[in-house]
Amino acid sequence: MATPEIFKLLLDQNVPIAVARWLRSTKSDWSVVHTSEVGLSGAPDDVVFAWAQQEKAAVLTFDEDFADRRAFSVSEHFGIIRLRVWPTTVEEVQSGISRLIASIDVVELPRSLVIIDKKKIRIRRYP
């Protein structure tokens, strides 16, 4: 799977839209959209995932179901970033994403599952 020219990120509906606005100002070279901005409010996970794959976008979510590789095949996705920060405030999310930005090149994200928690970032890459 080829890496997209511009890194695209879809924020799931459980991620505050304020995070999308912050990311757009922080990473102006990324294409960042929120599910509510593309008509996916209330959409089930499989529909959100399918949209992301069509757009060649990674998914940023709090939803642990996206980390289940039986449901969302790693050979087919452009990256899943699962947030495991608590509390789930905008500030905690921004802190976790800032650590991710500082530690990984986005070209590593396709077919990877990234888990961001309060203290560390785990990356599982699949061939």
Q: What is the pLDDT of residues 34-47, one digit of tens each?
A: 999 999 999 999 99
Is residue 32 over pLDDT 90? yes
DSSP per position, 73-107: -GGG-S-EEEEE-SS--HHHHHHHHHHHHHH--GG
**Percent with pLDDT over 70 in the chain:** 91
pLDDT band, residue 127 (cuts 50/70/90): confident
Round the average pLDDT of the chain to a whole number and report it: 91
pLDDT at 73: 67
**DSSP letter for each residue of the chain:** -PPPSS-EEEE-TTS-HHHHHHHHHH-TTSEEEEGGGTT-TT--HHHHHHHHHHTT-EEEES-GGGG-TTTS-GGG-S-EEEEE-SS--HHHHHHHHHHHHHH--GGG-TTEEEEEESS-EEEEE--
Tell me what pLDDT residue 120 has: 95
CATH number of 8-125: 3.40.50
Is residue 4's pLDDT more than 70? no
| Percent of the chain at pLDDT exceeding 90 | 75
pLDDT in tens, 66-100: 877 667 766 678 999 999 999 989 999 999 999 99
